[in-house]
Amino acid sequence: MSERQVPTIYPETRFYWDGAKEGKLLLNACTPCGGKAYFPPRPFCPTCGSRDVEVIEASGKGTLHSYIINHLPAPGYEPPFTVAVVMLEEGVKMVSNILDCPAEPEALVLDMPLEVTFEQRGDIAVPQFRPRKGGAA
């Protein structure tokens, strides 16, 4: 199996990747929009366009919003594997992989509680999700 790809880090996303390296899931939040969080990271609010944004630490908790089970080969992934949309407690949707859970419809229950985990890829830590320990929402 080949190695998984490493994301490109831009100045606008450096905070996100630095946080992940420390085991923190960091998001931007817009001050004029009442602190509404958004993803992916960028220096302006996608709703109002304001640059009055801050960095917040997300809880790392979410639920399985949607998913696909990929049966085709991809660099660094052994099929089948799960690609999911995770709804964070902060109201933000992220595309991620689901780890520590069989890539089977019986195991992937919509709205199941998830928690962030960080996968090391060289010098970078990539946020991924797994079923929440204890399963409580």
- Quick check: is 98 in a domain? yes
Q: pLDDT tens digits, residue range 13-67?
A: 999 999 999 999 999 999 999 999 999 999 999 999 999 999 999 999 999 999 9
pLDDT of residue 41: 96
pTM, rounded to two decimals: 0.91
- Whether the per-residue pLDDT at 137 is higher than 80: the answer is no
Confidence bin at 3 (pLDDT 50/70/90): confident
User: Under a CB-based contact definition with an 8 Å cutoff, are residues 98 and 114 in contact?
Assistant: yes
- Quick check: is 77 in a domain? yes
Q: Whole domain around residue 80: which residue ranges?
A: 60-107
- Whether the per-residue pLDDT at 128 is higher than 80: the answer is yes
Q: Are residues 51 and 75 in the same domain?
A: no
- Quick check: is 50 in a domain? yes
| Residue 81 in tokens | 């594997």
* Cα–Cα distance, 105 to 43 (Å, whole number): 37
Q: Are residues 19 and 53 in the same domain?
A: yes
- Whether the per-residue pLDDT at 129 is higher than 60: the answer is yes
Residue whose C-alpha is closest to residue 134's, from 113, 116, 118: 113
59 vs 25, 36, 84, 131, CA distance in Å? 7, 14, 18, 15
- Quick check: is 41 in a domain? yes
Q: Are residues 79 and 50 in the same domain?
A: no
